[in-house]
Structure 1
Amino acid sequence: MIHRRAFLASALAVFAVPGAAHTQGTNSTIRHMLVTATRAATQRLGRFDGFFGDGLVRIPLPGLLGSTQQRLEPLGLAGPLDDLQLRMNRSAESVMPAARDLVISAIRSLTISDGLSILRGGDTAATAYLRSRTETSLGGLLRPPMEETLTDSGAYGVLDQAAGLIDQRSGIGRFFGGNRTARSSASDYREQVTDFAVEKALDGVFYYVGEEERSFRANPTRRAEDVLRGLFGQ
């Protein structure tokens, strides 16, 4: 078993003086740091208003949904689309436990080929490395639970209702695809909404994992202690 003080000293050496660390110890420290950062990020985002109440990561409506929402807002007619945006953000908040587990699993399977280069890189080099090697696969894995939460939150139902309120005479029927019916077009938009929600949920996770990495590098003593507690399940 790794001695607590020995691990703490190793972590401090890695982040304070990267050249002093061995590759294996460096990679271990990077992984533990990323796991700790992921837990903190998903806990933050998974609470009520974790996404919707945070202007840095709040999820907007995608494409024409968003532009139509903006056009209707001054007219007081954007209620259904505002509701859809809220439910999208609530879905992202609800899916954070699944996102946490997926990201941590990806971290533990990473082969970090050049840990010292990562540590000598920018303030979020480890996060960028993680994202570049996992984002595509994580998106595919996160899609099913996101679909489930969008359904449970009523987001898909609201999308259908919003489509039903729009007709050609409103002047914005083009939003739903010209001559196609609003309801069939809304069904088409479910795919876009789901993909966008997954993408932006991961954007939020990686954003705050990066912020945790910045904090770790700025204060390696305190953050190494956090990693140590996580390593021993405390």
Structure 2
Amino acid sequence: MKKFTFVLLAVAAVSFVNAQGILGKIKKATSKDSSGNILSGLGKSTSGSGLSNDDIINGLKEALTIGTDSASKRLHKTDAFFTNAAIKILMPPEAQKVESTLRKAGLGSLADKAILSMNRAAEDAAGGISTIFIDAVKQMTVTDGLKILKGGDFAATDYLKANTTAKLTEKMRPVIEASLAKVNATTYWKDAFTAYNKIPLTKSQVNPDLSAYVTEKAMAGIFYSIGQEEQKIRKDPAAQVTSLLKKVFGK
């Protein structure tokens, strides 16, 4: 009986030692994983894909610079607005009655010239837009960069829209006004409304702010085009034309 009891005690002791050893290994492994992998990883890569903060911010600035420049060049061409159904500038809602009345009266050519001239003004003004975005790109913070990188497909475009719309409106309106005058848009617009106001039974004198309207619609077209460029850079390896873009967006 004593011998049997001794054997049981020996087995229990061995089991306790083994258990202690296993627990020690688990504790050691857990400690190593926590300090060696998780904590030491902080600061080395913010995105979890081997990208530093500098990589992210510089890559996004480069993407926005390339995207806005490409959009500017593409829109600064004859028919870039006029033949693109997605961004073509049409008569404003309050002037659509004018267009309809003119066409019914056989004066559709006046409306056509007014519409064409608005689009020509936007195409002309698009030539200088890339420089307008420089300040917003320079002011981008690391926090902004992370939100854009992890955001939706149009996160960079939305960032520009949120940070430049007011400034763009202020800076682009004089450019649009000059462009409208350059392509005789104000003359065509005046002709259309003068003819409309002379037609019997027209009950209201309509003459919306042409430069404000064209500025708003031109900016909408610009942001739409920048969004298309962002899509290419995010998803098309062929559009990732620099090593930094490949590093940031390729992953």
| Other structure's SS at 1:165 match | helix
CA positional deviation for 1:210: 0.8
Instruction: Tell me if the contact between 2:75 and 2:127 (Cα under 8 Å) persists in the aligned partners.
Output: no
Instruction: Tell me if the contact between 1:36 and 1:226 (Cα under 8 Å) persists in the aligned partners.
Output: no
2 CA distance for matches of 1:227 and 1:94?
33
Partner residue, 1:110:
140
- Are 2:220 and 1:203 aligned? yes
Partner residue, 2:238:
222
1 CA distance for matches of 2:229 and 2:48?
18
CA positional deviation for 1:201: 1.0
CA positional deviation for 1:80: 1.4
| Normalised TM-score (structure 2) | 0.72
Partner residue, 2:126:
96
| Other structure's SS at 2:85 match | coil
| Other structure's SS at 2:78 match | coil
Which of 49, 61, 82 aligns to 1:52? It is 82
Residue deviations 1:19-48 (CA, integer Å, cap 9, x gap): 431222201111110110111111111111
- Are 2:188 and 1:172 aligned? no
2 CA distance for matches of 1:137 and 1:151?
22
Residue deviations 1:31-81 (CA, integer Å, cap 9, x gap): 110110111111111111000011110011112222321344355322212
Larger RCO (CA under 8 A, 6+ residues apart): 1
Match runs of 1:109-148 below 5 Å = 109-148=139-178
CA positional deviation for 1:200: 1.1
Partner residue, 2:63:
33
Aligned Cα root-mean-square deviation (Å): 2.3
Partner residue, 2:106:
76
Change (3 A) 1:105 1:26: same
Change (3 A) 1:226 1:51: farther
Change (3 A) 1:72 1:165: closer
2 CA distance for matches of 1:213 and 1:203?
15
User: Which ranges of structure 2 fall in alignment gaps of 5 or more residues?
Assistant: 1-44, 246-251
Instruction: Tell me if the contact between 2:161 and 2:223 (Cα under 8 Å) persists in the aligned partners.
Output: yes
Instruction: Tell me if the contact between 1:18 and 1:120 (Cα under 8 Å) persists in the aligned partners.
Output: no
- Are 2:175 and 1:158 aligned? no
Partner residue, 2:34:
none
Larger radius of gyration: 2
Residue deviations 1:175-195 (CA, integer Å, cap 9, x gap): x15xxxxxxxx4xx3xx2111
Matched positions, count: 200
Work out the percentage of aligned pairs sharing the same amino acid.
Answer: 28
| One-letter identity of the residue aligned with 2:149 | L
2 CA distance for matches of 1:69 and 1:39?
35
Residue deviations 1:69-124 (CA, integer Å, cap 9, x gap): 13443553222122111101000000112222212343233335232221111111
